[in-house]
Chain A
Amino acid sequence: MSKLIIDDREIEVSPGTKVIEAAAQLGIMIPRFCYHPALGSVGACRVCAVKFIQGPFKGVQMSCMIDAQDGMVVSTTDEDVADFRRHVIEWLMLHHPHDCPVCDEGGHCLLQDMTVSGGHGIRRYLGKKRTYTDQFLGPLLQHEMNRCIHCYRCSRFYQEYSGYRDLGAMQSANRTYFGRFTDGILESPFSGNLSDICPTGVYTDKPSRYFGRRWDYQRSPSLCINCSLGCHTVASIKYREVKRQEARFSEPVNGYFICDRGRYGFFYSSLESRPRMARINGKQCTFNQAQHAMIEKLEEIKKNSGSAAIAAVGSLRSSLETLVMLAQLCQTKRWRDPACFIDSSQVQNVKTAISRLEPQLRVSLRDIERADFILAVGADPINEAPMLALAMRQAQRNGATIVVIDPRPVSLPFPFLYLPAAPMALSAYLGSLIKAVVNRGTADKMGDGARKFYDRIPEGKKLAEAQPPLSSEMLQSLQQSRRPIIVCGTEILSETVLSLSADFALLLQAAEKQAGLFYLMPGANAFAGGILSGEKDSFLQIIEQIEDGSIRALISVEADPFWWFDDRPRLERALDKIDLLVVLDYLDSQAAQRANIFIPTATFYESGGMLINQEGRVQVAPRALLGGIPISQAGGGDHPPRLYDVGIAGFDPKAAWLTLADLANGAAQEDEKALQQHLWKQISDLIPQLATFSSIDEIPQEGIVCSCGVNIDSRFSINWSAASNIRHDSGDDFDLIEVDWTFGTEELSSLSPCLWKLERKPCLVMHSGRAEIIGLTDVDLVEISTETGSLEAELRTADNMAPGILVLPRHRKLAWQIFTPGKIRIRKDQIRKKQ
């Protein structure tokens, strides 16, 4: 620890703390522009100057560049430095357009604050102002270079921090310009962060441009539900709609940043098409009418066909409250257990992951940044959970080796070692990695099970069949690593690989490494879905039971099977067959449109609620707004008419769990508090770690990591002979894998019009060698036919992928739902070139 004195006050800080941070710990905010805790110190702006009076440094120095050390005496108020800082600000303002009145940064602008607090108020410079031409940077950010103060934060974030290479500093001296080579959409899916980190208004949020000052907004902490990481956000609301979303600092999860899918993924919440009224058979009605009808109808079906004829489907974008309530409802009503997953392999994968997330193995995104070796298996970070890629980038910048084993053509904004492995070969690779870096003695330390497991790892020959081979570079860096982390997806892998990854991490720990395990999951609340679902509870099973006539009614809660179920015609047939479809949702989904009874629900912003991210972190978002039709829509673009009515237009939707509670109780419930308390009890029973809290409000901001579902007995239990049975790629057919893309495949963000321009064109991706064999080339238009239907898309070829794979994004513009759920195999004669 170092002890120093800043402005006559003593403080002790840990070694490596910069003086600027030490001062912050005392509550002294030394001005700064270029310094940012995540981007580090570069000493460019010179506004953080302080005077060093005693100690190893003397005189005016930058507090961001110097580590706090014992014996330092520092003054931030000394006349000399104050005058220097005043000058720095005066210099920075020489060319500023003074356009604060029309600048969206106004009100939360660091430059404004510093100009005022730095004491620069009167313009003395008599020369002309320099002006710049702005660029078009795409739909997300507005460029206004004249406001630039050249702190270099943007180019440092863009290039060094995130690894993208199309925005930077050009020119020199006071002509230095920040932008792109030419006008065009920024390539980085993290570009929105520029509006957060730019200390003035060079990059401002475009979709919310001119909509309001920061103080005009209701600002509320929230959580992102566009993937399973659960990043922290701040939602800005005005006139009853979320207009802007920013990153909110979270030490263990997303740090200072979020991805663009998350930042701009909120537009679904105020779409004009969003259903605000209940409907019975397509006809609008009051909320109470619909609720009555629902209760009555379900009673009727129960009477005629029994409780078991009623099934419910939930989704991974619902709050924990809703999922728990749904489970409870099914239980008390003796309906079938609800399904939140598509098929049994999806449930099993998630459940396996949960069972293997032992406390000593699981790591947070922040731990990933500190890893020195990362092995990603069956995970495509940029596309599945973009912020994971940003965390991996930090590890890579600090020298970590990144290895990706995946059948897809994975790309990342930094160098990594890549093995294009067929899904079937993944366990073999893991096996040989284990053999290469863990010796038998180490395995032995973990007990009998581990030793047997180790001994059964198939030897040489089998592994040698896995092509391409592991490189010595991979093995060496894993051997030398001290903090390796295994990142594992749950979407395209088999359960075995998930287990194996956990076993591997355990063995690495036994080998004295600080190993960690990080799973990705298929949706924001997949963890919760996993702990609430039974092994077999899947939507596919519901479909089968509808088909055999045992299910007569379906309640779909914030779920749209039309979006994610593989076989659209089969789904339609099934829904035709049942007597009742009830849909509760805030989206105008296809399911909602077909519903016999539709009841609108509140969005996550309007209800608030809990989410469990893929790490098992239970996090809470408060309610950010009450709801109601946005003023902009109520008034049709004009000032809304004054209606002499009680309540707010479009205010019916309430949290889905409340409607479910009404249903459970057979009537509308008045006492929301009591319901809440009851629900809290259910939730804290489910998650023992929450037992110490008396209500949801006590959960700390960074959440509580839970270990429910962990099952130590499942260690080292995989069946090696099955796992290492590598199917030889016959060259005649393909394993089709459905994948996520950063933009255009995720249900909620796909509804954000500003993101549409960033979507890649939907396509099928095939290995170029294989494409050649079957006479196809890049950008051919191809058709895939199955028994169910056919699908047309452009073909893209790639060299860096497993040959026996066909990659299909679940793109919103593609009617891709023509497959039989489960493993999908496509014969080459099912693929045809179109003219």
Chain B
Amino acid sequence: MLPKELRESLKDHIANIDHPRELAVDVMFTLQDHYGYLSDEAVKEAAELLEMTPLEVDEIATFYTFVYREPVGKYVIHVCDSVICWMDGYESIKDCLCTKLAINVGETTADGLFTLLPVCCIGYCDMSPAMLINRKVYGHLNPEKIDSILEKLKAEA
């Protein structure tokens, strides 16, 4: 269940807009941040808040890349695999991440910290190869840099 405060603030927000559905993505993001991912439960809650049906929420939730309908780690790493990053070494960056995290693409580390997902061009081609972690960008990647980024995040976790 969503904490009352969060629920109320979402309700407020929704009440103050002409068309609640406009907030569908915002509400999904908020619930996702709260639960870690958009669980079935969360879809139902979002539906109720937005006066939509769970199916209607799921119709859009499953459409988008950044809505996670399955559990993910605390940090979601989106490595860019589009053409410029690919040319500048996406494969080795991905392999490096897989080795360091001991997971395959699409998986979450055993400690629940990291999930590794490839993603389409993230708009940082001038800093290729690049990745996003929880929507923050890291560019000009190389193995050492990846090491320090992961270490830092582990320490913060």
Contacts and interface: CB of A to CB of B under 8 A. Distances in A.
Contacts of A180: 55
Interface string A164-197: 0111111110000100111000000000000000
A181 B56 CA distance: 8
A171 B43 contact: no
A172 B53 contact: no
A165 B58 contact: no
Given A181-B43, A182-B40, A168 B55 contact: yes
Contacts of A168: 55-56, 59
Interface in B31-77: 40, 43, 52-56, 58-59, 62-63
B59 A169 contact: yes
A166, A169, A177, A181 — most chain B CB neighbours (10 Å): A181
A170 B53 contact: no
Contact of A171 (B40, B53, B62): B62
Q: Choose among B40, B52, B62 the residue with the greatest number of A CB atoms under 10 Å from its CB.
A: B62
A677 B86 CA distance: 84
Given A165-B53, A166-B53, A181 B62 contact: no
Q: How would you classify the secondary structure of chain B's contact residues: helix, strand, loop or mixed?
A: helix
A170 B56 contact: no
A181 B53 contact: yes
Interface string A134-173: 0000000000000000000000000000000111111110
B63 A166 contact: no
A171 B63 CA distance: 5
A181 B63 contact: no
A165 B56 contact: yes
Nearest to A159: B56
Contacts of A172: 62-63
Contact of A167 (B40, B43, B55): B55
Contacts of B40: 181-182
A455 B52 CA distance: 48
Contacts of A182: 40, 54
A182 B53 CA distance: 12
A171 B70 CA distance: 13
A168 B56 CA distance: 7
A165 B63 contact: no
Nearest to A179: B55
B38 to A, nearest CB: 12
A170 B57 CA distance: 9
B62 A165 contact: no
Contacts of A167: 55
Nearest to B43: A181
Contacts of A170: 55, 58-59, 62-63
Nearest to B57: A181
Nearest to B65: A172
A181 B62 CA distance: 11
Nearest to B60: A170
Given A168-B56, A170-B55, A181-B53, 7 more contacts: A165-B52, A165-B55, A169-B59, A171-B63, A172-B63, A181-B58, A182-B40
Interface of B: 40, 43, 52-56, 58-59, 62-63
13 contacts: A165-B55, A165-B56, A167-B55, A168-B56, A170-B58, A170-B63, A171-B62, A171-B63, A180-B55, A181-B40, A181-B43, A181-B55, A182-B54
7 nearest interchain CB pairs? A181-B54, A165-B53, A181-B55, A170-B62, A171-B62, A172-B63, A168-B59
Interface of A: 165-172, 177, 180-182
